[in-house]
């Protein structure tokens, strides 16, 4: 019995010693790399959009929250509306020069710097929404980021509105001739295309569109789609609502990050930014798919006259777009490299779309009418 007690007490002492040694040894181990490489950061993101555009501006907030959630709150991003730090169209400049770490914007706002900026967002007769996201996530964004590096930027896809509407017109547009001399709020490459078919493009800030239409300073204006358009009341002064917005078949938004700051981030934070951008893109598309049909019904009830662009107008605009792209490609190697890659993707995508997606959608549209 005595021997047994000695044995047990000795075993207990040995176990306690082993445990103490293990604790001491563990305390001397280096902390896991992931804990060491996740600093607490507080960055600022300037949006190109006002808070009134809750779907678009709100996508920046969705992105920021996701980054915080994915990093256990260590990476905080504060979102500022257009004008709070810099005007919306100066968002990329503010990131390039380090005024803020990042912005949420539509890259085609900056085609004045280089027309290549249009390609990550959307171009006339480019890709539809799913195609644009698909192209960007299967190699397109790598090419885009090679280009953006020249401006000290790194891009992350963050939102897509889906196909937009063709805009509000004060009078009905039946033929190509009706576009001659028509003053329309439309800018960038889309403006160049429309100019070739007779339109006089005008660049007007969102808040100034309604009074310009009301006074007849302009004859037409494109904005986004039913949900956002309804808020601005265009139906009261320009009742003809055309579709589709062939210049924006699936425009993506992006977060631009200061490249120097981006390169300093740990890998886990870079991954969090990418994942947050993907989540925000999916979220925005879902919101528009929910809200646009509801808003369209309201607009029709308020007197909106839905009209499709004629085949004559679409064909002329398509031809004009090809001319614009050829002209730009001839003198801009960056544009040509990315454009050629995008169009190759588009052509194959629509080959597949013709087989399965389009036939399914067409049947379901007909079936819907039957109840």
Average of pLDDT values for 110-132? 97
Average of pLDDT values for 311-331? 98
Q: Encoding tokens for residue 205? A: 């800030």
Which residue's entry shows tokens 């789609």? 225
Helix axes 311-331, 333-355, angle to 10 degrees: 140
Neighbours of 194 (CB within 10 A): 24
pLDDT tens across 174-233, in order? 999 999 999 999 989 999 999 999 999 998 888 899 999 999 999 999 999 999 999 999
Q: What are phi and psi of 186, to 5 degrees?
A: -165, 140
Residue 11 pLDDT more than 70?
no
Q: How many residues are given for the chain?
A: 371
CA 302 to chain centre: 30
pLDDT band of residue 166 (cuts 50, 70, 90) is: very high
Residue 134 pLDDT more than 70?
yes
The residues facing 57 across adjacent strands are none
CA dist 198 and 176 (Å) reads 8
Neighbours of 156 (CB within 10 A): 24
Which pLDDT does position 36 carry in this prediction? 55
Which pLDDT does position 309 carry in this prediction? 98
CA dist 83 and 49 (Å) reads 9
If you write DSSP's letter for every residue of 233-290 in order, what string do you get?
Answer: TGGGT--EEEE--TT-SSPEEEEEEEHHHHHHS-HHHHHHHHHHHHHHHHHHHHHHHH
**320-326 contact pairs (CB < 8 A, 24+):** 320/193, 320/194, 320/196, 320/197, 321/123, 321/124, 321/125, 321/193, 323/196, 324/124, 324/189, 324/192, 324/193, 324/196, 325/123
Residue 31 pLDDT more than 70?
no
Please name which of 302, 328, 317 lies closest in space to residue 111, comparing C-alpha atoms. 328
Q: Which fold has domain 40-162+250-289?
A: D-Maltodextrin-Binding Protein; domain 2 (3.40.190)
Which residue's entry shows tokens 């770490």? 101
- Average pLDDT of the chain? 91
pLDDT band of residue 370 (cuts 50, 70, 90) is: confident
Q: How far is CA 52 from CA 56, 175, 187, 290, 299, in A?
A: 9, 35, 22, 18, 18
Which residue's entry shows tokens 């002209």? 327
Average of pLDDT values for 310-339? 98
Average of pLDDT values for 295-301? 98
The three-point CA angle 128-208-316 to 5° equals: 40
């Amino acid at each position: 019995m005595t021997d047994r007690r000695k044995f047990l007490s000795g075993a207990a002492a040995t176990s306690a010693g082993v445990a103490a040694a293990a604790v001491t040894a563990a305390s001397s181990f280096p902390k896991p790399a992931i804990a060491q490489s996740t600093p607490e950061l507080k960055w600022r993101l300037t949006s190109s959009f006002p808070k009134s555009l809750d779907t678009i501006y709100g996508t920046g907030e969705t992105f920021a929250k996701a980054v915080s959630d994915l990093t256990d709150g260590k990476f905080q991003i504060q979102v500022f509306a257009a004008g709070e730090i810099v005007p919306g169209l100066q968002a990329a400049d503010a990131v390039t020069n380090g005024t803020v770490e990042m912005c949420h914007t539509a890259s085609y706002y900056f085609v004045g710097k280089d027309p290549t900026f249009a390609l990550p967002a959307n171009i006339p007769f480019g890709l539809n929404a799913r195609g644009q996201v698909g192209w960007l996530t299967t190699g397109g964004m790598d090419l885009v980021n090679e280009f953006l590096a020249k401006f000290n930027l790194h891009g992350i896809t963050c939102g897509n509105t889906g196909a937009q509407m063709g805009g509000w017109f004060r009078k009905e547009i039946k033929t190509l001739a009706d576009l001659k001399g028509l003053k329309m709020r439309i800018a960038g490459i889309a403006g160049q295309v429309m100019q070739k078919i007779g339109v006089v493009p005008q660049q007007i800030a969102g808040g100034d569109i309604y009074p310009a239409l009301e006074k007849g300073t302009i004859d037409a204006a494109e904005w986004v789609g039913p949900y956002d358009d309804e808020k601005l009341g265009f139906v009261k002064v320009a009742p003809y609502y055309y579709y589709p917005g062939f210049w924006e078949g699936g425009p993506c938004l992006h977060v631009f990050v200061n490249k120097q700051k981006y390169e300093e981030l740990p890998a886990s934070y870079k991954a969090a930014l990418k994942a947050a951008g993907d989540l925000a893109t999916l979220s925005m598309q879902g919101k528009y798919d929910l809200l646009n049909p509801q808003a369209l019904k309201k607009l029709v009830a308020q007197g909106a006259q839905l009209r499709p662009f004629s085949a004559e107008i679409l064909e002329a605009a398509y031809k004009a777009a090809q001319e614009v792209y050829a002209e730009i490609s001839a003198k801009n190697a960056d544009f040509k490299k990315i454009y050629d890659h995008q169009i190759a993707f588009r052509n194959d995508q629509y080959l597949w779309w013709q087989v399965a997606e389009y036939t399914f959608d067409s049947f379901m549209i007909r079936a819907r009418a039957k109840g």
